[in-house]
Amino acid sequence: MATTSPPGVGLLKGLGVTIKQMFKPAVTQQYPHVKPDLPPRTRGVIALMDENCTVCMLCSRECPDWCIYIDSHKETVPPAKEGGRARTRNVLDRFAIDFALCMYCGICVEVCPFDALFWSPEFEYSEYDIDKLLHEKGKLREWMDTVPPPPALDEGADAPGEVATAIEKANQELEAAKAKAAEEARAKEQGEQAPAAGDAAAAAPAEPEVKAGEIDQETFDRLIAEGKSERIARSKAKAAYVKKEKQRLKEQAEQQAAAAPAAEEPKVEAGEIDQETFDQLIAEGKSERMARAKAKAAYVKKQKAKLRAEAEQAGGGDAVEAPAAEGSGEAAAGEAAPSAAPRKADIEVEGAGEIDQETYDALIASGKSERIARSKAKAAWVRKKKQEQMDAEGDA
Partner 1 sequence: MSDMSTRETVMPGTAPGEDLLIEVTGDGDFQTADMQLSIGPAHPATHGVFRIILEMDGERVVDAHPVIGYMHRGFEKLAEHRDYRQIMALVNRHDWLSGFSNEMGVALAVERMLEMEVPERAQWIRMLIAEWNRILNHLMFTGSFALELGAITPMFYAFREREDIQHMLESATGGRLHFTYNQVGGLKIDLPKGFLRRSAELSAITRARLQDYKDLVLGSDIFQARTVGIGPLSTDVALSYGVSGPTLQATGIPEDSRVTEPYLKYGEIDVPVPVGENGDSFDRFYCLLHRIEASLDVIDQIHDHMPSGPVNVKLPKQVKAPEGATYVRTENPLGQLGYWLESDGGRTPWRLKMRTPSFSNVAVMPHLLRGTLVPDAISVLGSVFFVVGDIDR
Partner 2 sequence: MSIAEMANAAAGLAQFSPAPSLLEIGDSFWLSAVLKIAVVLAVFFVVPLVVGYMEHKVMGHQQARLGPMEAGPHGSLQLVADGIKFIQKEDLIPSAADKWVFAIAPGVAMVPAILIFLVLPLGPGIWGVDFELGLFYALAVGSVTTLGILMGGWASANKFSLIGGLRAAAQLIAYELPLILAGIAVALQAGTLSLVGIVEAQSTFFIPGTEINLWYLFPQILGFGIFFIAAMAELARPPFDMPIADSELVFGYMTEYTGIKYAMYMLTEYAGMVSMSALMVVLYLGGWQLLPGVPMPGCGGSGNIFDCNALGVGLGVAVTLGKIMLLTFLMVWARTTYPRLREDQLQRFSWLVLVPLSLLNLAIIAVAKGVF
119 forms part of the interface with partner 1 (CB under 8 A)? yes
Cα gap 72→256, rounded to integer Å: 29
List the single partner that 353 binds among partner 2, partner 1, none, CB under 5 to 8 Å by kind.
Answer: none
Cis amide leading into 32 (omega within 30)? yes
List the single partner that 103 binds among partner 1, partner 2, none, CB under 5 to 8 Å by kind.
Answer: partner 1
**What string of H, E and C letters represents the secondary structure of 213-244?**
CCCCHHHHHHHHHCCCCHHHHHHHHHHHHHHH
In the complex, least distance from residue 21 CB atom to partner 1, rounded to whole angstroms: 8
List the single partner that 19 binds among partner 2, partner 1, none, CB under 5 to 8 Å by kind.
Answer: partner 2
Q: Do the beta carbons of residue 265 and residue 88 sit within 8 Å?
A: no
In the complex, least distance from residue 100 CB atom to partner 1, rounded to whole angstroms: 17
Could you tell me which residues come within 8 angstroms of residue 55 by beta carbon, excluding any fewer than 6 positions away?
A: 70, 72, 90, 91, 92
Could you tell me which residues come within 8 angstroms of residue 337 by beta carbon, excluding any fewer than 6 positions away?
A: 323, 343, 344
Q: Choose between 15 and 225: whose C-beta lies nearer to partner 2.
A: 15
In the complex, least distance from residue 229 CB atom to partner 2, rounded to whole angstroms: 18
Could you tell me which residues come within 8 angstroms of residue 390 by beta carbon, excluding any fewer than 6 positions away?
A: 341, 342, 344, 347
19 forms part of the interface with partner 1 (CB under 8 A)? no
Q: Choose between 28 and 126: whose C-beta lies nearer to partner 2.
A: 28
Q: Where along the sequence are the contacts to partner 2 (CB under 8 A)?
A: 11, 14-15, 17-19, 21-24, 26-28, 30
In the complex, least distance from residue 375 CB atom to partner 1, rounded to whole angstroms: 20
13 forms part of the interface with partner 1 (CB under 8 A)? yes
> What is the DSSP code (8-state) at residue 274?
-
Q: Choose between 152 and 340: whose C-beta lies nearer to partner 1.
A: 152
Cα gap 365→373, rounded to integer Å: 10
Q: Choose between 157 and 283: whose C-beta lies nearer to partner 1.
A: 157
Tally Cβ neighbours within 10 Å of residue 241: 21
In the complex, least distance from residue 1 CB atom to partner 2, rounded to whole angstroms: 17
Site for partner 1 in 135-194 (CB under 8 A): 151-158
25 forms part of the interface with partner 1 (CB under 8 A)? no
394 forms part of the interface with partner 1 (CB under 8 A)? no
> How many residues are there in the chain?
396
Q: Choose between 34 and 152: whose C-beta lies nearer to partner 1.
A: 152
β-sheet bridge partners, residue 75: 89
Cα gap 82→99, rounded to integer Å: 46
Q: Choose between 14 and 317: whose C-beta lies nearer to partner 2.
A: 14
* Contact residues: partner 1, CB under 8 A: 1-3, 5, 7-11, 13-14, 16-18, 21, 27, 38-43, 62, 64, 103-107, 110, 119, 151-158
